[in-house]
């Protein structure tokens, strides 16, 4: 019988352990997956001697249902990405880096915005400095009467959508904190800076002291034809945000003439004493300043007007008309110049300024809208449009309230109270905005209950409840902002509502986890149907909201869930059994 060599056995055992450890570490290596696909030999394409393997067209039979064209090279089969894109909902495009073409694959199109620090309820709102609400396709225009967006999201005629108006204001507030100071040019202030105005014979133009406003102003009076208008010829570029104080009589107009610098096409924006939102007649765009403040003489009250002329132009005429081409692209500020300012009729003006931006003015336009349009009884800002969330839910009638809209408005008003250094109008409106949170959704409020135990603030107060996740979290941020900003003793209710909501969120959060993404709502629970999966942009919003909440509440479930959901965006999935 052979004697066993103990040294040989020990050596073999050591070799086996080392081999096992090597394979084990490769399993956790990010490069290990690359070995699943044979490496492409580039020498075939750069003059090498090696010949590429023969490629042949073959049919791929998908799930025993249908056939697509594929390619076979050796033992590998290649499917067209157009098929993979639709089948797996993945994304990709060709790009060139350092002269080399490559294909960039992405599992999702959502973007994660990491918090830059602990959330500040007086500072930037989430990542809204990246928002450009006014240029959304579903924004019909920015009204000249109120300075806020008109939405066409669910009704083509246009309506005031509180959620969108608040996002408009919050985005400009956030931009004001992140962008450099704007460049400003004073065009006419009736005191120190004078413009070289053209005054036709018979028209009146005079600078004088107006005791009612305690300031020097310009007063004008002209005939009814454009030839009699007082005008200021200009050749101004880049600074396309116009501000002025204005008072017009009925049938009077303030006009701005613009020109595309390359095509030389002229366009005219007219601000008129009318209730029309927007009207277009060829190259003429009309915005109504409103008629609610007209006195018995037909003169409107003094109004501070702030307009982004590039936005007003693009909302009035298609970019293809401006460019003289059907090519679709964004219009750049450098392409437009201001050629003339004109006043027709009778009225007065002061403080004409051109600047690169006026974010705080836009912010306060939104804040003032919420003060003026709040229902004094319910404390809500209604959505004046019917809404159908989906089959199985009762339609929401005109006038419904949204917890997301209420929360956004409260976030805006809390910041307006802070920025204005204590204007109590904004504080009162924010506090009254809590009222719908007390009222059940089936009675016209936004309060729902999950399994009779956990309170939920409904973005869409449907019957049965829908439990939309992103809108609920936005409402929590509004409650947190008010609780953190209001003077001591005023914020007790906001704080209690926030804490109740956070308790519900922690208990219900995992109901939205699908193992590879998230659900937009819980209709699969309340209606007993298939889940309503969140698109990647909504899924990214869920992640961003949780990452922000994790800076407020250190409960591990918030941050851990955010990280797992973030992993789904790059193809990770929950484990199988």
Q: Got the DSSP string for 515-535?
A: SSSBBSS-HHHHT-S---BPP
- Assess if residue 2 is contained within a domain: no
Please give the DSSP secondary-structure letter assigned to residue 47.
T
| Dihedral (CA of 522, 527, 530, 532) sign | negative
Same domain flag for 157 and 188: no
Closest Cα partner for 356 from 184, 169, 172?
184
- 227 in helix, strand or coil? helix
Same domain flag for 365 and 270: no
Nearest-Å Rg of the Cα atoms of the chain is 31
pLDDT recorded at residue 44: 47
- Assess if residue 20 is contained within a domain: no
Same domain flag for 541 and 434: yes
Question: Other CB atoms closer than 10 Å to residue 437's CB: what's the count?
Answer: 27
- Name every residue whose Cβ is closer than 8 Å to that of residue 228 and which is 6 or more positions away in sequence: 200, 202, 203, 222, 344
Vertex 232: Cα angle to 230 and 235 (nearest 5): 155
- Assess if residue 553 is contained within a domain: yes
- Assess if residue 425 is contained within a domain: yes
Same domain flag for 146 and 268: no
Task: Read off the CATH number of the domain in which 351 is found.
Answer: 2.60.120
Same domain flag for 314 and 258: yes
Same domain flag for 193 and 337: yes
- Name every residue whose Cβ is closer than 8 Å to that of residue 553 and which is 6 or more positions away in sequence: 502
Phi, psi angle pair for 40, to nearest 5°:
-75, 130
Same domain flag for 206 and 229: yes
pLDDT recorded at residue 5: 62
Phi, psi angle pair for 104, to nearest 5°:
-105, 120
For tokens 């294909």, name the residue: 103
Rounded to whole angstroms, the Cα distance separating 126 from 264 reads: 41
DSSP H helices, 135-290, are 162-178
Same domain flag for 269 and 164: no
Same domain flag for 162 and 193: no
For tokens 């290990």, name the residue: 32
**Spatial contact of 394 and 463, defined as CB atoms under 8 Å apart:** yes
Range of the domain at 69: 56-106
Rounded to whole angstroms, the Cα distance separating 481 from 472 reads: 14
- Assess if residue 245 is contained within a domain: yes
DSSP H helices, 142-243, are 162-178
- Assess if residue 247 is contained within a domain: yes
Same domain flag for 203 and 309: yes
Task: Read off the CATH number of the domain in which 137 is found.
Answer: 1.50.10.10
Residue where a domain stops, chosen among 106, 140, 166? 106
**Spatial contact of 458 and 451, defined as CB atoms under 8 Å apart:** no
Same domain flag for 72 and 151: no
Rounded to whole angstroms, the Cα distance separating 568 from 196 reads: 62
pLDDT recorded at residue 447: 98
pLDDT recorded at residue 15: 59
pLDDT recorded at residue 130: 96
pLDDT recorded at residue 329: 76
Rounded to whole angstroms, the Cα distance separating 511 from 526 reads: 12
DSSP string, 249-283: BTT-EEEEEEEETTT--EEEEEEESSS-SEEEETT
- Which stretches of the chain drop beneath a pLDDT of 70? 1-52, 327
- Assess if residue 409 is contained within a domain: yes
- Assess if residue 324 is contained within a domain: no
Closest Cα partner for 230 from 268, 199, 195?
199
Give how many domains the chain has, as a whole number: 3
Same domain flag for 449 and 515: yes
Rounded to whole angstroms, the Cα distance separating 225 from 30 reads: 73
DSSP H helices, 341-394, are 359-372
Task: Provide the token pair at 459.
Answer: 């973005």
């Amino acid at each position: 019988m052979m004697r066993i060599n103990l040294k040989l056995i020990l050596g073999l055992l050591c070799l086996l352990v080392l081999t096992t450890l090597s394979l084990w570490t490769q399993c956790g290596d990010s490069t290990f997956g690359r070995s699943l696909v044979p490496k492409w030999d580039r020498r075939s394409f750069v003059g090498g001697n090696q010949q590429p393997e023969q490629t042949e067209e073959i049919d791929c039979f998908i799930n025993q249902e249908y056939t697509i064209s594929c390619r076979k090279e050796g033992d590998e089969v290649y499917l067209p990405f157009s098929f993979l894109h639709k089948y797996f909902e993945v994304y990709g495009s060709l790009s060139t880096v350092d002269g080399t073409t490559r294909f960039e694959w992405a599992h999702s199109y959502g973007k994660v915005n990491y918090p830059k620090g602990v959330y500040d309820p007086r500072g930037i709102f989430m990542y809204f400095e990246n928002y450009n609400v006014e240029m959304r396709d579903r924004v019909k225009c920015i009204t000249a009467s109120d300075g806020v967006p008109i939405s066409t999201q669910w009704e083509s005629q246009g309506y005031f959508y509180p959620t969108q108006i608040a996002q408009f204001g919050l985005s400009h507030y956030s931009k004001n904190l992140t962008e450099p100071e704007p460049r400003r040019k004073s065009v006419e202030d009736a005191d120190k800076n004078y413009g070289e105005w053209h005054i036709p014979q018979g028209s009146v133009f005079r600078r004088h002291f107006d005791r009612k406003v305690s300031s020097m102003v310009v007063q004008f009076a002209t005939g009814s034809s454009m030839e009699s208008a007082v005008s200021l010829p200009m050749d101004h570029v880049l600074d396309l945000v116009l501000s002025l104080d204005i008072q017009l009589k009925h049938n009077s107009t303030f006009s701005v003439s613009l020109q595309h610098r390359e095509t030389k096409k002229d366009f005219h924006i007219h601000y008129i004493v009318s209730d029309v939102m927007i009207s277009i007649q060829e190259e003429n765009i009309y915005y109504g300043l409103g008629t609610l403040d007209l006195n018995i003489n037909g003169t409107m009250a003094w109004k501070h007007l702030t307009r982004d002329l590039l936005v007003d132009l693009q909302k009035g005429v298609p970019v293809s008309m401006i460019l003289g081409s059907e090519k679709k692209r964004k219009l750049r500020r450098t392409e437009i110049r201001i050629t003339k300012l004109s006043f027709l009729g009778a009225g007065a003006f002061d403080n004409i300024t051109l600047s690169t931006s006026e974010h705080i003015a836009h912010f306060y336009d939104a804040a003032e809208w919420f003060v003026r349009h709040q229902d004094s009884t319910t404390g809500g800002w209604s959505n004046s449009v019917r809404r159908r969330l989906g089959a199985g839910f009762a339609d929401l009638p005109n006038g419904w309230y949204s917890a997301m809209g209420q929360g956004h408005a409260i976030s805006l008003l809390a910041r307006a109270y802070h920025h204005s250094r204590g204007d109590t109008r904004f504080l009162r409106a924010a506090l009254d905005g809590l009222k719908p949170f007390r009222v059940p959704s089936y009675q016209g409020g936004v309060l729902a209950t999950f399994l009779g135990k956990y309170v939920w603030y409904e973005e869409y107060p449907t019957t049965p409840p829908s439990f939309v996740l992103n809108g609920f979290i936005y409402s929590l941020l509004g409650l947190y902002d008010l609780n953190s900003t209001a003077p001591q003793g005023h914020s007790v209710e906001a704080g209690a509502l926030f804490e109740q909501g956070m308790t519900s969120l922690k208990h219900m959060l995992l109901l939205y986890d699908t193992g590879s993404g998230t659900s937009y709502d819980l209709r699969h629970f309340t209606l007993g149907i298939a889940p309503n999966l969140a698109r990647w942009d909504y899924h990214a919003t869920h992640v961003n909201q949780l990452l922000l909440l994790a800076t407020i509440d250190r409960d591990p479930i918030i941050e851990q869930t955010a990280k797992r959901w973030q992993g789904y965006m790059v193809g990770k999935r929950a484990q199988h059994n």
